[in-house]
Every structure is written in C-alpha cells, then in structure tokens.
Structure 1
Amino acid sequence: MGMIRTFAATLAVATALGGMATAASAQEITLRSSDTHPDGYPTVEAVKFMGEVLKEKTGGRIAVQVFASHQLGEEKETIEQTKFGVIDLNRVNFAPMNGIVKATTVACLPYIFTSKENMRAVMDGPIGEDILKAFEPAGYVGLAVYDSGARSFYNSKKPITSIDDLKGMKFRVIQSDLFVDMVNALGANATPMAYGEVYSGLQTGLIDGAENNWPSYESSKHYEVAKFYSLDQHSQCPEVLMMSKISWDKLTPEDQTAVREAAKESVGKMRELWDAQEAKSRKVVEDAGAEINEIDPAAFIAAMDPIYAKYADTPELQDLVKRIRDTQK
C-alpha cells in the first residue's frame, strides 16, 4: 500500500511538472530544480547562476527553473522525486543522503573539518570528486559541492556554554541517523523534523532548540523564537547539487558536459554569496538581540568517538576519514 501511495504521489507531481520539460522543439529543455531555502539564499542564487551559464553554453537551448522555498517538498520528499526523474536538479544537504550514498556520511561526521578553508580544499580535490562519483550508482549524478556553513546549536531556553548545558534539552535535527546519534551523544534529545516545521516547533515548545548555520538561523527567522546561539560549530556537512540519472541520460554527451561545467562554475558564485551572507546574517540576528555564546569544543569533540566508530565502520570509510584529516589548508 505504501509503494502504491508513493508511486501515485510521484505520478501526480510528474503530471504537474512534466518531468524534464521540452519547450518549442525537442532540442529546447527546461530543467526543474528544487531547493528548500527561499529566493535570495546563496544556494538558490547559485543554481540560478548555473542556469545562466548553461543557457550561454548551449545557445539558449537548456534553461534551469528553480523552485525555492520547498515548493516541491521538503528534502526527503524531493530526493525520491529526483531519483524518479520528476525533479531534474536538486540542492540538498549531504545528511539526508547518508543512507543512500555512504561516502557522504564521512563529510558529515562532527568536527571532521578544521575550518571552512579545510572543507573547501577537501571538496575541491580528489576526495570531493570521489564522493560525487558515488552518487551515480544510487540513481543520481553529483554535479557540485556547495557550502552549508558551520552548524551550531541555538535554543529558546538558556545560554549553552558547555556540554553539560545540553543535557535533557530537545533539539531538532535533520532527518538523519548520524545527526540523531550525535545530539544524543552530547546528552541532549534529538528530534528529527522537517526544516519547514522548526519555527512553529520552537514557538510552541515542541522543541527547545535546533542546530544550523548563520544564514539558515537568520533567513528562517528562528532567532525570533530561539535567541541563544552557541558557537560549538559541530558540523560543516556540505550541500550537493545533484541531477536525476534519468534526466541526465536524456541529454547528449555534449549537453552533459555543459551541465557539469556550468554546475562547477556555480560553486565560486555560491561561495562569494555565502561568505557575504554569513556576515550579514550574523549582524541581523545580533542587532535583533540574539545572544551569541562562545564554546570550547574540546568536550564536544571527545564525546564524538562513538559516532566515528559507528559511522566510519568500513575500511573504505575509515580511509576516507584519514584522507580528509591528512588534507591541510
């Protein structure tokens, strides 16, 4: 019954969107792209920029239409739709892909990266390319890696300045087993929840807090209902821009090359927008009265040993951890 409902829902979306739509002729293509974030957010604008580059590369034959603000669904739903070819392009965090593409798990491990620069160096090199290649057997084509910033805890109850302050608090996390286990390992209670439900959850007291980066904390207005932001920076789990393998296989080799090149070119634009947005978002929330707390992460890092043991549980994943740690910037 569940499979019938899933198929029916997918079919309904396919009918509404038309899959990879063709325009006036069979050569004109519009790729539908999904993002949970609002217009103006760096990832949304980066995919729009990719569309502009792609249009230029193909003489206007291929365009990208971005559906922002989770118009096509939350990340978990759009991941499935992308596999079926209902959505052509999708910007999602690595975390909900952990159970689908195992290599993404390592990049989401707490404190795996030492800095933003370290994360970018890793993702721009052979390690990042290897992770993107791992998407294809799962029905997706990994095109580019975007920033997701450093994620930190915020809440509506009290300042968090040490690991002990987390005990017993309820925090929303991405719908990811790794994030659930990470928060629980810190003594808090993890509550997986769709991004679009977090504001009301904080407002009603269903959850005490959540964890995210500066731009998400600000653009979602979560600072209005959770004013205590603690800079533990536990995760720099990246984002991926991926394409449905079904949609990809409909393209000519030349158009596939153009799509891949345009996606890679969008990374620089995304980072430029991201760095500016981080600074702007921090100022907005501070001006609005959010209380920012610095944290010594040593105790947080020490609590993560069981997470590494559980999630880097194969020789391949352990090797990936080592390769990342050996990458210096």
Structure 2
Amino acid sequence: MRVVKLVAILVLLMFGPPAIARDIISSDIYPASYPTVRATAYMGDLIRQRSGGRLILSNLGAGDQDTENYTLAQLRNGTLDMARIDLNTLNSTVPDTIVLTLPYLFRSTKHERNILDGPIGEEILASLESTGVIGLCFYDGGAKSTYGTKPIRSPADLSGVKYRTQPSSSWEGMLRAFGAQPVPMPQSRVAAAMRTGVVEAADGSWSSFVAMQHHLVAKSFSLTEHARPPSVLLFSRLVWETLSPEDRTIVRTSARESVAFYRQLWDESEASARRTAEAAGVLTVSDIDYEGFAAALVPFHAAAVPTARLAAMIERIKAEAVP
C-alpha cells in the first residue's frame, strides 16, 4: 500500500494534478438541427480536441426566454459564456454593425463572404469589444426576403402593413418610409402574432422561415432579398478575460475554422428549406420590383450611418471586386 501511495505522489510531482474541465455554455435561438447550432457544435469538437478535454462547449436548448436582446445582456454581465445572435441586435449600441445590415449593399453571397472574411469584417468584430463582448466570427445568413399573409412585389405593397422587425434594428425607419408599421418583436413570437393579425409580414431567409415554423402560418414568400445581415458568434468579455492566452487562441481559432463548415451546411439548408416550404403550400413570389426597392432603400445608406468613417466603409464595400 505504501508503495502505491509513493507511486501516486511521484506521478503528481512529475505531471501535476489532473486538469479540471471547464464548461463553456453557448446559446442560440434556433433548434439543434439549424446550421448555426451545428456549426458551434463542430467548433466545440475542435475546442475539446485542441484543449485535451480541458474545455467543453455545451449548447443551451432554444427557449422562449432566449430572445437575442436578453442573450446579449447575459453575455455582457458574464452569466453566459458564448452566443450566436443576429447582427441587427447590436445596431443601436455598436454603430459599425449597421453597415453590414444595410439593404441592397451586397451584390451576392460571394460578395458578402469576401467582405466578412476581409479587413472590414475584422474591423467590425473588433468594434464589439467596447460593449462587453468579443466578436469571434460571422455566420452569413443568406438573403432576407419578406413573407406573410399577402404577396409583396413592390414598395407600394408595404403601405399599411404591420411588419415585424428585430428589436433595435435599423430596419424600422426604412419600413416607415414605405408607410409600413414596424412591430418590434422577438422572432420566436412571430408565428403566434401572424395567426392573430398582430403582424402581417416579417422577413428572413428560407432556413429561418422553416426552422421557426413560420411556413405553417405565412401564405407567401416574396423574394425581395432586401438585405443580407450576418449573425455573429460572441464571447462574454468578462469570461474571456478569465481564460489563459492559450485557451483564447484555441477558442478563436476553432470559431474561425467553423465558418467553412457552417457555409456548407447553410447552402444545403437554404435549398432544402425552400422545398419544404413550397411543399407546405407557400407561394414563392419572384416577380419583384427590385429596381423600385433599391431606389427607395439605397438612399438610406448615407442616413443610417452616423460618421464619415462608416460612410467610407460603405464605399469600400461597394468597390469590392467579386470574381
């Protein structure tokens, strides 16, 4: 027995005590099958492997309480470690984020991904730190289109329409310009609100449209493709500062490497979700007056950003060459 104890003591002296695993709790409003949730799970696998099991990422299940403003507050006070949220949620507190949410700014998915992966994307991620969060990476969310109780083909069709918007989004002012009535509301409540007539329209991608089961309520999906706001993976700054430099590198690198995995999932999800919605009887409206929408919305670019620096950033985005 004394020999066994002696061996145990020698092992501790040589290798130190066993590492204690640390949980990283992440949140998302979408279900486990959604591309953003699957991508963060993939990121968790990378983190666990690279940390030798010291860091374990766990995803909270989506719940009604987990509106994105509530989640953002949890990140800032350190009661939540990590979360994926829509960038629109940060518009009122981080002016730089407005740029990526502007209507008809990106010409294509390729254009958007080039920007998010380049210097402008890095600048906007860095701007988040002053608000109590660390920006790890972007998950581009595809083109947002309008869906609801009636087809929307032109700006005039939005007159008087009760249109759900993300709380704190810059989209509200633009809707008012069309004569629509913005209704700030968490995405998780849209289906019930549409059933009762509290809202008549909302916007989103094919994937979010089906994941939130809005395709069971909305009668039409109008391909306005008016904006391509990405979501962003955030880490609590308070928690981040408790991590070692090595662990910060592991988390940040794993997040960046999850982006390619996410994009493959996303592209597959968009095609599948469209098939699901149309099979459920949703009318796809493609005869859209894109020129009319762009003419009405592009002038908001200058009005939406508060500084010359951000106006210059918009011009840099427009000037980006896309192969």
TM-score, normalised on structure 1? 0.90
Instruction: Give aligned pairs, total.
Output: 305
1:116 aligns with 2:109: yes
Question: Does residue 262 of structure 1 match 2:249?
Answer: no
Is the Cα–Cα contact under 8 Å of residues 102 and 301 in structure 2 kept in the other structure? Answer: yes
Q: Does 1:28 align with 2:28?
A: no
Q: Which residue of 1 aligns with 2:221?
A: 229
**How far apart, in 2, do the equivalents of 1:176 and 1:121 lie?**
26
Percent of paired sites with the same residue: 38
Alpha carbons 2:103, 2:298 under 8 Å: kept: no
Give the aligned partner of residue 97 of structure 1: 90
Q: Name which of 279, 282, 288 aligns with 1:290.
A: 282
In structure 2, the residue matched to 1:143 is 136
Instruction: Tell me the SS of whatever aligns to 2:136.
Output: strand
Deviation, structure 1 residue 306 = 4.7
Q: Supply the distance in 1 between the matched residues of 2:65 and 2:43 (Cα, whole angstroms).
A: 20
Indicate whether 1:52 and 2:45 are aligned: yes
Aligned to 1:43: 36
Candidates 307, 311, 315, aligned match of 1:318: 311
Equivalent residue of 1:199, what SS? helix
Distance 1:236 1:30, change over 3 A: same
One-letter identity of the residue aligned with 1:125: G
Runs of 4+ deviating beyond 2 Å: 24-27
Asked if residue 205 in structure 1 is aligned to residue 209 in structure 2, the reply is no
Q: SS at 1:303's partner residue?
A: helix
1:62 aligns with 2:69: no
Rounded to whole Å, the distance in 2 between the matches of 1:266 and 1:141 is: 16
Q: Aligned equivalents of 1:61 and 1:273: distance in 2?
A: 28
Distance, in Å, in 2 between the alignment partners of 1:137 and 1:112 is: 26
- Are residues 142 and 182 of structure 1, via their aligned partners in 2, closer, same or farther at CA, if it must alter by over 3 Å? same
Q: Distance in 2 between matches of 1:176 and 1:297?
A: 26
Once the two structures are superposed, residues 8-59 of structure 1 have per-residue CA deviations (whole angstroms, 9 ceiling, x without a partner) of xxxxxxxxxxxxxxxx977421111010011100000101110000001100
Give, in whole Å, the separation in 1 of the partners of 2:64 and 2:78.
17
Q: Distance in 2 between matches of 1:305 and 1:127?
A: 20
Asked if 1:107 corresponds to 2:67, the answer is no
Q: Determine if contact 1:33/1:66 at 8 Å carries over to the other structure.
A: yes
CA contact (8 A) 2:221 2:284 kept: yes
Residue deviations 1:152-200 (CA, integer Å, cap 9, x gap): 11111x2222221111111111112411112222331111101111010
Give, in whole Å, the separation in 2 of the partners of 1:117 and 1:154.
Answer: 24
CA contact (8 A) 1:215 1:277 kept: yes
What does residue 16 of structure 1 align with?
none
Root-mean-square deviation over aligned CA pairs? 1.5
Q: Does structure 1 conserve the Cα–Cα contact (< 8 Å) formed by 2:64 and 2:188?
A: no
Instruction: Please give the TM-score of this superposition, normalised by the length of structure 2.
Output: 0.91
Partner of 2:6: none
Q: Which residue of 2 aligns with 1:180?
A: 172
Asked whether the 8 Å contact 1:155–1:227 carries over to 2, the reply is yes
* 1:247 shift after superposition: 0.7
Match of 1:238 among 223, 230, 247: 230
Question: Aligned to 1:308, which of 298, 301, 306?
Answer: 301
Q: How big is the shift at 1:84?
A: 0.8
The amino acid that maps onto 2:112 is M
Contact 1:312 1:321 in 2 (8 A): no
Deviation at 1:327, TM superposition (A): 1.2
SS at match of 2:138: strand
